[in-house]
Amino acid sequence: MNLKVGSSISLMAALALSTTSCATVSEQQAEKTAEIQKPNIIYILADDMGYGDLGSYGQTKIKTPNLDQMASEGIRFTQHYAGSTVCGPSRASLLTGLHSGNSPVRGNPTWTDNRKPYDLQDSDITLGEMLKTAGYQTAVIGKWGMTEDRSFPEDKINPSMPNQQGFDYFFGFKYHHDAHYYYWDKLWENNSPYWLKENDYMNNKGIYTHDLFSNKAIDYIKQSDKTKPFFLYLAYTIPHLPMTVPEDSKAQYKDLGWPKRKMNTQGHYRNDKEGNVTYAGMVSRMDRDIGALLKLLKQQGLDENTLVIFASDNGHHYDNGFFDSNGPFRGKKRDLYEGGIRVPFIAKWANKIKPNTESDHISAMWDMMPTFCELSGADCPKTDGVSLLPTLLDNRKQEQHDFLYWEFNERQGPIQAVRHQNWKLVRFYEKPAELYDLSTDVGEKNDVAAKYPETVKKITKMMDGARSPHSQFSLKPLIKQ
């Protein structure tokens, strides 16, 4: 596949002199000017944060002033979907622009036919690779989770690592398992281990890794080459389990009379003792750090040439109803009902995106590939998405998806789902399909499949034709070993 740098016409080109040498100089200046005019892109991803966890999406207990301000200064989508209902396949969908029926990674580690992890391949084209062809500096900071094969020798460079998948800089967690600890002692910087020898991840002592990610993101923006645009994929681990956060982030939530939720402190997840105060503190800490990043963009004069996006990788996992993390929706993480896949999506771009706007456009994580292709001028690889620029910039008619597709296969799987206009079809293995009319039943409480058999037949045909075969992700029941 030929991924070419998109061409741009600049006024600098018109100033070229008639001599060959001067023309060459002018052409070089034109190319540099065109690159500067391409917007910086920052995509911030929360981990296991529900649709209802932000004030701008109805949250009343957790304070998120910076993300709420970002929504007021930009656009808030109300029908945006994650790539999957768990971390790994959702991130693969983001990186490749393919839904979970076509993407290379369709399940979390070892939820495969041979029970072995399946990683990104050399042939996969990522956002990083695409944007590099358009002259972008590229970085991923935080949770990668696309390199899970631990049998690969660590003294050799794994082709699924970020540096080998189009990212100039990487700092963070290589593996999903390691990201289950906020005080883990081994991160990665590019292809080399980054040790935090003072960290005691079994007792939650040392450096809180989330803070490192925020600091590295700030440093990356400060140190980036200002003559070239950059793409920063900031993949936070908050508010994924375990429930733990430094005490200063809990202060505003103590003594509010909230019900206590006792957490297991000695299991796989090394939780703090009390859950509700900790969860709120985690989300607010992330909000605080995103606020610092947005402030830096203004201080650096980058605000008007930077598109900032915030989303979550799937539905919530922690909440038992106290925070109403899934808002009006049914289900949570590991469900293909709305609570497991519908997520917040906020975009801000000063003087480009109209402030305080809301969109009910039906969109998905795999739309980022064509959106960023159009923004950067790069040729776009094969994708299941459509560009969101018409909606973001409010300047032309928005292309609509015919349907959105998901599949998920863990203990209760395989499960498939299709969103077609206002219809939602959910099908469990060897069970009759369920049909919901989201225009009147956003909580998916009333299965109307028996009432609309022709609609079920039509959407089932879409579902059956949506996926491509994969050597390790077939639609058969799996038992994790």
Is pLDDT at 480 greater than 70 in this prediction?
no
Q: Tell me, what's the pLDDT at 395?
A: 85
Is pLDDT at 324 greater than 50 in this prediction?
yes
- How many angstroms from the chain centroid is the CA of residue 456? 31
User: What are the strands of the beta sheet with 434-437, ordered from one edge?
Assistant: 404-408, 415-420, 423-428, 434-437
Residue 153 main-chain phi, psi, to 5 deg = -60, 130
Q: How large is the average pLDDT for residues 160-187?
A: 98
Is pLDDT at 7 greater than 80 in this prediction?
no
Q: How many CA atoms lie within 13 A of 189 on its CB side?
A: 8
Q: Tell me, what's the pLDDT at 27?
A: 52
Which amino acid appears at position 335 of this protein?
D
> CA-to-CA distance for 471 and 107, rounded, in angstroms?
13
pLDDT in tens, 424-474: 999 999 999 999 999 999 999 999 999 999 999 999 999 999 999 999 999
**Percent of the chain beyond pLDDT 70?**
92
Q: How many CA atoms lie within 13 A of 388 on its CB side?
A: 27
Q: How many CA atoms lie within 13 A of 39 on its CB side?
A: 23
Average pLDDT for the chain: 92
Q: Tell me, what's the pLDDT at 4?
A: 32
Domains of the chain by start residue, with CATH: 38-402 (3.40.720.10), 408-464 (3.30.1120.10)
Q: What are residue 346's DSSP bridge partners?
A: 76, 310
pTM here is 0.92
Residue 413 confidence class, pLDDT cut points 50, 70, 90 = confident
What DSSP letter does each residue of 364-403 carry, written as one string?
A: EGGGHHHHHHHHHTPPP-S-S----HHHHHT-SPPP--S-
Q: Exposure string (b/e) for 188-212, b if CB count within 10 Å is 16 or more? A: beeeeeeebeebebeebebebbbeb
Is pLDDT at 416 greater than 60 in this prediction?
yes
pLDDT in tens, 89-117: 999 999 999 999 999 999 999 999 999 99
